[in-house]
Amino acid sequence: MPNPWLSIPLADYEAHMSLPGVAQAPLLADVLARATETYAPRSVAVLGCAGGNGFDGLIAAGVERVVGVDINPAYIEATRARFGARIPRLELFVADVQHDAFAFDPVDLLFAGLLFEYVAVDVVLERIGSMLRPGGVLVSVVQLPSAAAAEVTPSPHVSLAALAPVMRLLPPERLRELAGARGYREESGWTLDTIAGKQLHVQVFTRDPDQKQR
């Protein structure tokens, strides 16, 4: 079964995420900006980078090296067109973080915003061990369950409906457990309220400096 992210046009995704009743794109960009301000990384990787949401903030913060990974080649090409001339050390990969063979030099901070709902979490946590330097920071954003809101917000952009069958919410406690088993210690966490009535939970993990790369 093809991954549904391959069939969603970037214009649909970005328009959906920016809808007044969704407004998750600015929230994710703000979380990334806050992490960058707090930890002052020289290098950042964004898994599921789409069209580069939040990259403007990385430029403003003076991040020297930016890595973007996404399964959809059209998303990566859009990111390249938008930021290739503005970020001299921009590295982009078309890849499924669960399965595809790809590699880049480890970064100081790795951002996974609303990614873990769509992947095998244990597999991805294992694989990112080679992407984040020992002592580096992993920032995750997951969606919390809600009795009042659909997991995938109804949208005029009908292509987004393909995500509902594959989305699996991940309790923060489960992410803490899985990450802890792989040498990540949770440093902080907080919850954000969205306009649509959903809640997003941010978790910041640091990687054990003694953890060997795999």
pLDDT of residue 211: 62
Report angle CA 33, 88, 78 to the nearest 5 degrees.
Answer: 70
Average pLDDT, rounded, for the chain? 93
| Model pTM score | 0.93
CA–CA distances in Å: residue 155 to residues 8, 21, 102, 134: 13, 9, 34, 41
Q: Are 57 and 113 in contact (CB under 8 A)?
A: no
pLDDT tens readout for residues 143-196: 998 766 666 767 789 898 899 899 999 999 999 999 999 999 999 999 998 877
**What kind of fold does domain 4-207 have according to CATH?**
Rossmann fold (3.40.50)
Q: How many CB atoms lie within 10 A of CB 142?
A: 22
pLDDT tens readout for residues 33-68: 999 999 999 999 999 999 999 999 999 999 999 999
- Take residue 122 and report the two structure tokens written for it: 């244990």
Name the residue with tokens 């328009």. Answer: 15
- Take residue 74 and report the two structure tokens written for it: 């059209």
pLDDT of residue 196: 74
C-alpha 76, offset from chain centre: 14
pLDDT of residue 88: 95
